[in-house]
Structure 1
Amino acid sequence: MTHKQLALTDWEFRACGEEQWFPAVVPGTVHTDLLRNGLIPQPFYGKNEHELQWIDKKDWEYRTILQLDEDWQSLTVTELNFAGLDTYADVYVNNVHTLSADNMFLAWTVDVKDLLRTGENEIVVRFRSVVAEDLPKLEKLGYDLPAPNDQSELGGLEEKRISVFARKAPYHYGWDWGPRFLTSGIWREAVLTGRSAAVIADVYIRQDEVKQASARVTAIVEVDTPETWAGTLRITAEGQEWTREVTLEPGKGTAELELVINQPRLWWCNGLGAPELTTFRAELLENGAVLAGAEVKTGLREIKLIRKPDAKGASFKFELNGVPVFAKGANHIPNDSFITEVTEERYRYEIASAAASNMNMLRVWGGGFYEEEAFYRLCDEYGLLVWQDFMFACSMYPGDEAFLLNVQKEAAYNVKRLRNHPCIALWCGNNEIDSAWAQFEENKGWGWKEKLSAEIRETLWTAYEDIFHRILPEAVAAHHPGMEYWPSSPLRELTNDIDQHAVRIAGDGDVHYWGVWHGIEPFENYNVKVGRFMSEYGFQSFPELKSVLTYAEEKDMELESEVMLAHQKNGRGNQIIKEYMDIYLPEPKDFRSFLYMSQILQAEAMRMAIESHRRNKPYCMGTLYWQMNDCWPVASWAGMDYYGRWKALQYTARRSFKDVLLSVEAMDGEKLQVHAVSDLREALAGELVVRLHDFSGAVLKEWKQPVQLAADSSAVVFAVPVMELLAGYAAEQVVLVAALEAADGSLLERKEHYFAAAKELKLEQPALTVAEVPGSGGLSFTVSSDVLARGVYLTAEQEGIFSDNYFDLLPGEVKTVQFLRRGGVHEAAGAVAGGSAGLEAGGSAGLEAGGSAGLEAGGSAGLEAGGSAGLEAGGSAGAGAGVEAAATGTGVMNGAKAGAGATDFTPAVPQGLEVRSMADYVK
Structure 2
Amino acid sequence: MTASVLRFRQWMFKSSGSDEWMPAVVPGCVHADLLRNRVIADPFGSDNERELQWIDKLDWDYETRFDVPAEMLLLPSLELEFDGLDTYADVSLNGRPVLSADNMFRRWSADVKGIAAEKDNVLRVVFRSPVREDLPKLQALGIALPAANDQSELGGLGDDKISVFARKAPYHYGWDWGPRFVTSGIWREARLAGWRGSRIADFFIRQDEITAQTARLTAQVEVRTLAACAAVLRISEGGRRWERQVELRPGTDVLSVELELEQPRLWWCRGLGKPERHAFKAELLRLDDGEPIDEATVVTGLRTVRLNTERDERGSRFVLELNGVPVFAKGANHIPHDSFPSEVPVEKYRAEVEAAAECGMNMLRVWGGGLYEDSAFYDLCDEHGLMVWQDFMFACSMYPSDDAFLASVAAEAEDNLKRLRRHPSLVLWCGNNEIDSAWSQYDEQGGWGWKGRFSAEQRSAIWSGYEKLFHVLLPRAVEAFSPGVPYWPSSPLARLSGDAGQHGHADAGEGDVHYWGVWHGMEPFEAFRGNVGRFMSEYGFQSFPQLSTIRTYAEESELELESRPMLAHQKHGGGNQRIRHFMNLYMSEPKDFPSFVYRSQVLQAEAMKEAMEAHRRAKPYCMGSLYWQMNDCWPAASWSGIDYFGHWKALQYQAKRSFRETLLSFGDSGGLRSLHAVTDRPGGVRGRLTLRLLEFDGTERRREAMEVRLDEAGSSVLLAFRDEDWLGGLPADSAVLVAALEEDGGAPLAEAWHYFVPLKQQRLERPRIAVTEAEDGSWTVSSDTLARQVRLAAEQAGRFSDNFFDVLPGLPRTVSFHGASGQPARPGRISWMSMQDTGADRIEGGS
Normalised by the length of structure 1, the TM-score is 0.90
1:918 aligned residue (831, 835, 838) = 835
Contact 1:613 1:623 in 2 (8 A): yes
Match of 1:592 among 567, 591, 594: 594
SS at structure 2 position matched to 1:174: coil
Query: Separation in 2 of the partners of 1:429 and 1:666?
Result: 36
Instruction: In structure 2, give the amino acid aligned to 1:915.
Output: W
Distance across 2 between alignment mates of 1:586 and 1:809? 20
Aligned equivalents of 2:732, 2:584: Cα separation in 1: 19
Structure 1 match to 2:234: 234
For the Cα contact (< 8 Å) 2:538–2:628, is it kept in 1?
A: yes
Work out which of the residue numbers 311, 314, 317 in structure 2 matches 1:315. Answer: 317
Task: Give the match for residue 823 of structure 2.
Answer: 906
* 8 Å Cα contact 1:229-1:250 kept in structure 2: no
Mapped pair 1:694 → 2:611: no
Shift of 1:231: 0.4
- 1:735 is matched with which residue? 736
> Mapping of 1:344-493 within 5 angstroms?
344-493=346-495
In structure 1, the partner of 2:845 is none
- Does the 8 Å CA contact 1:94/1:121 hold for their aligned counterparts? yes
Q: 2: CA distance between counterparts of 1:137 and 1:153?
A: 18
Distance 2:730 2:120 in 1: 87
Partner SS for 2:614:
helix
Counterpart position of 1:900: none
Q: CA deviation at 1:501?
A: 1.1
Counterpart CA distance in 1 for 2:95 and 2:353 is 44
Task: Identify the residue that residue 864 of structure 1 maps to in structure 2.
Answer: none
Distance 1:158 1:505 in 2: 38
1:821 paired residue number:
819
Deviation at 1:771, TM superposition (A): 0.9
Q: Point out 4+ residue stretches in structure 1 off by more than 6 angstroms.
A: none
User: What is the match of residue 573 of structure 1?
Assistant: 575
**1:693–1:700 contact (8 Å) kept in structure 2:** yes
8 Å CA contact 1:682–1:712 kept in 2: the answer is no
Paired residue secondary structure (1:224): strand
Q: Secondary structure at the match of 1:353?
A: helix
How far is 1:19 from its partner? 0.7
CA separation in 2, counterparts of 1:397 and 1:683? 47
* Conservation of the 8 A alpha-carbon contact between 1:215 and 1:262: yes
Paired residue type of 1:311 = E
Which residue of 1 is the match for residue 807 of structure 2? 809
Alignment partner, residue 843 of structure 2: none
Among 543, 546, 554, the residue aligned to 2:545: 543
- Residues 1:649 and 2:651 aligned together: yes
The residue number in structure 2 matching 1:121 is: 121
Alignment of 1:405-804 (within 5 A): 405-667=407-669, 670-773=671-774, 775-776=775-776, 779-804=777-802
Corresponding residue for residue 49 of structure 2: 49
Give the stretch that moved more between structures: 908-917 or 328-337.
908-917
Aligned 8 A contact 2:432 2:491 in 1: yes
Q: What does the per-residue CA deviation read over 1:5-33, in whole Å, with 9 as the maximum and x for residues that have no partner?
A: 10122110000021111110000000001
- Residues 209-255 of structure 1: CA distance to partner in whole angstroms, max 9, x if unpaired? 11111211110000111121320101111221111111122111111
Aligned residues of 1:445 and 1:503 also touching (Cα < 8 A) = no
1:811-864, Cα deviation, whole Å (9 max, x unpaired): 1112111011134xxxxxxxxxxxxxxxxxxxxxxxxxxxxxxxxxxxxxxxxx
Q: What root-mean-square deviation, in Å, do the aligned CA atoms of Structure 1 and Structure 2 show?
A: 1.1
In 1, distance between residues paired with 2:826 and 2:69? 55
Kept after mapping to 1: 8 A contact 2:506/2:531: no
Partners of 2:692 and 2:795 in 1: CA distance = 37
User: How far off its partner does 1:324 sit?
Assistant: 1.4
CA distance in 2, matches of 1:688, 1:69: 73
SS of residue in 2 equivalent to 1:113: coil
Per-residue deviation, residues 567-596 of structure 1 (Å, max 9, x unmatched): 000001111111111111121111110000
For 2:76 and 2:467, how far apart are their aligned partners in 1?
44
Contact 1:330 1:363 in 2 (8 A): yes
- Is residue 494–residue 505 contact of structure 2 (8 Å, CA) maintained in 1? no
Letter in 2 for 1:908: A
Paired position in structure 2 for 1:855: none
Amino acid at match of 2:348: R
Identity of aligned residues (%): 57
Aligned residues of 1:302 and 1:321 also touching (Cα < 8 A) = yes
Aligned AA for 1:822?
A
CA distance in 2, matches of 1:404, 1:545: 46
Whole-angstrom CA distance in 2 between matches of 1:687 and 1:69? 72
**Runs of at least 5 residues in structure 2 that lack an aligned partner in the other structure:** 841-847
Q: Could you give the per-residue CA deviations for residues 471-514 of structure 1, whole angstroms, max 9, x where no partner exists?
A: 00010011111211000000011111111111453111000000
Using the alignment, how far apart are the partners of 1:815 and 1:503 within structure 2? 40
Alpha-carbon shift at residue 118 of structure 1 (Å):
2.1
2:274 aligned with 1:274: yes
Contact 1:56 1:183 in 2 (8 A): yes
For residue 491 of structure 1, what is the amino acid of its counterpart? Answer: L
Deviations 1:536-588 (A, max 9, x none): 00000000101111111011100111111100000011111111111111211
> 5 Å matches for 1:141-290?
141-286=141-286, 287-290=289-292
Give the conservation status (yes or no) of the 8 Å contact 1:536–1:624. Answer: yes
Give the Å deviation of 1:722: 2.4
Distance in 1, Cα, partners of 2:560 & 2:543 = 15
Q: CA deviation at 1:461?
A: 0.4
1:736 Cα offset (Å): 1.1
The residue identity in structure 2 corresponding to 1:919 is: Q
**After superposition, what is the alpha-carbon deviation per residue over 1:736-772, rounded to whole angstroms, capped at 9, x for unaligned?**
1111122222321111111222111110001001111
Range moving further from structure 2, 249-258 or 423-432? 249-258
8 A contact 2:330–2:626 mirrored in 1: yes
Task: Find the aligned partners of 1:767 and 1:675 in 2 and give their Cα distance.
Answer: 33
Structure 1 residue 361 displacement after superposition: 0.1
Question: Structure 1: where are the runs of 5+ without partners?
Answer: 824-904
Separation (CA, whole Å) in 2 of partners of 1:257 and 1:273: 29
2:828 maps to amino acid? Q
1:304-355 deviation line (CA, Å, top 9, x unaligned): 1111210111111111112211000000000000001101111111111111
1:628-678 deviations in Å (ceiling 9; x for gaps)? 00000000000000001000000000111111000011448x511110101
Corresponding position of 1:85: 85
For residue 844 of structure 2, what is the aligned residue in structure 1? Answer: none
8 Å contact kept, 1:93–1:121: yes
Partners of 2:732 and 2:757 within 8 A in 1: yes
**CA distance in 2: counterparts of 1:229 and 1:633, whole angstroms:** 57
1:325-344 to structure 2, matched below 5 A, reads 325-344=327-346
- Structure 1 residue 75: Cα displacement: 1.3
Equivalent of residue 295 in structure 2, options 268, 272, 293:
293
Q: CA deviation at 1:915?
A: 2.0
Q: Per chain length, whose mean CA-contact separation is higher, i.e. which structure has more relative contact order (CA < 8 Å, sep 6+)?
A: 1
